[in-house]
């Protein structure tokens, strides 16, 4: 499915992926994630992924060939920590005080993996959370200046970019300290903004609306996605699956940008 010459990424026998529900491939095996409509697009059955089909790491795995080394995908990390402070009863500005702690945790995790022998590590940055339907619904504003030209919340995207700027510095510092180890900074933010800026290029309708959820307009986020929820159309024409997690289509676009470039340096398919 991914357009790349064969043989470019044939050096990874295993993939170890650390993160949260954005990249989890099955640990949500209990509860309503094992019911329709989860998994409807690709697997045709629930698999424990918080998605209609595959997630980003599945697309990385599709280009793995059985040769020698292991690929480590670390994150994205920090999103759920920030989410705690983005709750309705907490001042969102306080989330910024945790950026240094999160950077220190990411840095020490990378260094620990390197100490265990990891040679190729992908470190993704944070998504443009100001374009996430759940945020758009919970923090909707009557002030047009709070939104950018795409309808995303400026404050939250600025916060993501602040996190990403600090993370790039961590990756650069650790790269200099560990010659012979590949640390690949994956720009999930930039890759996701591709379908926010030009959704029709990817066959996506409104990238700011959830495919599975309730009837609240325009974001459909007033109900958790489950077997009683409304499916607003073909998931392949949406970027958001349930208002928080993305669709397989969106994850594929992001994975393409990391595998083939320009949203990773070097592109993952040329990192061997």
Active-site residues: which are they? Answer: 21, 242, 245
Question: Which runs of consecutive H residues, i.e. helices, occur in 63-119?
Answer: 79-85, 99-115
Instruction: Give which of 42, 9, 125, 113 is closest to 77, Cα–Cα.
Output: 125
60 CB-contact burial (10 Å; exposed 0-12 / middle 13-18 / buried 19+): buried
Here the tokens at position 74 are: 């670390």
User: CA triplet 135, 218, 19: central angle to 5 degrees?
Assistant: 35
E strands, 5-77, where? 12-18, 69-74
Alpha carbons 209 and 1: distance in angstroms, whole number: 25
Burial class of residue 81, CB neighbours in 10 A (0-12, 13-18, 19+): middle
C-alpha 167/C-alpha 212 separation (Å) is: 32
């Amino acid at each position: 499915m991914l357009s790349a010459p064969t043989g470019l990424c044939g050096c990874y026998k295993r993939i170890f992926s650390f993160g949260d529900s954005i990249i989890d491939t099955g640990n949500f095996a209990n509860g309503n994630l094992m019911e329709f409509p989860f998994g409807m697009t690709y697997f045709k059955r629930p698999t424990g992924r918080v998605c209609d089909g595959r997630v980003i790491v599945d697309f990385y795995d599709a280009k793995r060939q059985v040769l020698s080394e292991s690929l480590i995908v670390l994150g994205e990390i920090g999103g759920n920590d920030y989410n705690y402070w983005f709750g309705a009863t907490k001042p969102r500005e306080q989330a910024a005080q945790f950026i240094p702690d999160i950077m220190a945790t990411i840095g020490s995790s990378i260094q620990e993996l390197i100490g265990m022998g990891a040679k190729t590590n992908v470190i993704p940055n944070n998504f443009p959370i100001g374009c996430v339907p759940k945020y758009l619904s919970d923090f909707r504003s009557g002030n047009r200046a709070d939104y950018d030209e795409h309808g995303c919340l400026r404050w939250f995207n600025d916060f993501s970019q602040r996190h990403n700027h600090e993370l790039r510095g961590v990756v650069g510092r650790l790269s200099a300290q560990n010659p012979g180890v590949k640390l690949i900074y994956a720009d999930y933010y930039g890759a996701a903004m591709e379908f926010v800026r030009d959704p029709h290029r990817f066959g996506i309708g409104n990238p700011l609306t959830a495919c599975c959820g309730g009837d609240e307009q325009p974001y459909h986020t007033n109900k958790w996605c489950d077997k009683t929820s409304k499916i607003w159309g073909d998931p392949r024409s949406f970027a958001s699956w349930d208002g928080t997690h993305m669709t397989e289509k969106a994850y594929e676009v992001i994975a393409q940008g990391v595998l083939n470039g320009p949203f990773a340096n070097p592109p993952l398919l040329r990192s061997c």
